[in-house]
Amino acid sequence: MVKRIVTDYNGYDANAFFCVDDKTKHGFLFDCGAEGKRLSDIIDKEGYIIEKLIITHGHFDHIGGVEEFRKFKNIPVYIHENGKRFLSDPEYNLSAHLGNIISIEADGYFKDSDLLLTKGGELCFRVINTKGHTDDSCVFYNEKEGYAITGDTIFRGTYGNYRFPTGDYGTLMRSIREKVLTLPPETVLYSGHTLATTVAAERPYYI
């Protein structure tokens, strides 16, 4: 089960996703917007057993709620190994330009091709490092259920901004063409800012 929650950070909307096994309620939360208390309340209401908060990349609109979330939930926060500087450096996570400085730490890190599994093995995501928007950007592919959490790498009908620190247009296009659009065409793509799409629907934009 994938549950999309639209969070707000001072007028900047971003999607957070609960990916949870229907039977056991074990799963992961991807990204934290700026509404940590709200996401915590959803966990309590739905009875989810969230094992990790996984960050798709370290920009303010995806990490702004982490500290508030930690006040209510003792759930470890993970990001790609390239994300350490994004979490700690307000210039990199872009919060320095918004008047609300963010500087935090992760509890753990993953790298490209790692497998993220719930303790009972109900859910499994393969980490795909998709540099271009940022060099810590990742897509998380659930092969069994046929979907991927894509962060800001690719959206419905467009792609992520490459003009931020460590971003690069050519790198982003290679990531999309070689790592995302090579997934099965029916794969559902859940992005950080738009409604869902599929690999098949997005391929024509990149031919």
What's the fold here for domain 2-206?
Answer: Metallo-beta-lactamase; Chain A (3.60.15)
pLDDT tens-digit map of 40-77: 999 999 999 999 999 999 999 999 999 999 999 999 99
Domain ranges of the chain: 2-206
Residue 100's pLDDT band, with cuts at 50, 70 and 90, is confident
- pLDDT of 11 > 90? The answer is no
- pLDDT of 9 > 80? The answer is no
Assign residue 31 a region: left if phi > 0, alpha if psi is -120 to 50, beta otherwise?
Answer: left
Q: What is the DSSP string of the chain?
A: -EEEEEEEETTEEEEEEEEE-TTT-EEEEE--TT-HHHHHHHHHHHT-EEEEEE-SS--HHHHTTHHHHHHH----EEEEGGGHHHHH-HHHHSGGGTT-------SEEE-TT-EEE-TTSS-EEEEEE-TTS-TT-EEEEETTTTEEEEETSEETTEE----STT--HHHHHHHIIIIITTS-TT-EEEESSS--EEHHHHGGGG-
Considering the entire predicted model, what is its pTM?
0.97
Please tell me the predicted confidence (pLDDT) of residue 34.
Answer: 87
pLDDT tens-digit map of 137-163: 999 999 999 999 999 999 999 999 999
